[in-house]
Amino acid sequence: MLDMEKKIKIRVLSIKEEYFDICSDALPTQKDECNNIYTMFAINFEIDKERSLLKATLWTNLFLPSKEDIPIVSYSFSYTLHIDPIQTLFSKVEGNQIDIKLPTDMASVILTDMYAAARALLSVKLSGTILNDYYLPFDGAAQLIENIRANQ
């Protein structure tokens, strides 16, 4: 359990694979082509205010520049977190519509943890393929956090 500034308590309830696909026709045929892979991410947050849950789903797509319209790998998984008190995440509530704003420190912790999990989970999925020694970039979590902050 994580205690953010003695105010917000976070506990991971589950880590669940949501989707995985490899486009065999788009995979590199030579090992040196793997050096050109680039990654795109998307993240979605859902709130269950009655149960104090935040579900964060991270999508990861791997692309080759020569086939940039087709992801060679698509992977997503979710973290379900119990947040106490969940109301600290609400920036606006109108009926069933809730706008959330994660405190900066909390967002950094969640995204860093999810990115590290994505690196480990994806590496297992890629074993036995030409991408068996491909790992998400080392500083990718910092770049992901920076991109999210820039778009807030």
More confident residue, 21 or 101: 21
Q: Which two tokens stand for residue 136?
A: 């998400």
pLDDT for 25: 87
pLDDT for 76: 96
Query: In sequence order, which residues have a C-beta less than 8 Å from that of residue 12 and are 6 or more positions away?
Result: 79, 80, 81
**Average confidence (pLDDT) over 112-130:** 93
Q: How many domains are contained in the chain?
A: 1
Using the CB atoms, write b or e for 75-95: b if 16+ within 10 Å: bbbbbbbbbeebeebeeeeee
pTM of the predicted protein model: 0.83
Residue labelled with tokens 């795109």: 40
Per the CB < 8 A criterion, the answer to whether 141 and 148 are in contact is no
pLDDT for 96: 73
**CA separation for the pair 59, 43 (Å, rounded):** 6
Please report, rounded to a whole number, the percentage of residues in the chain having pLDDT higher than 70: 95
pLDDT for 49: 85
Domain residues for 39? 2-150
CATH number at residue 13: 3.10.420.10
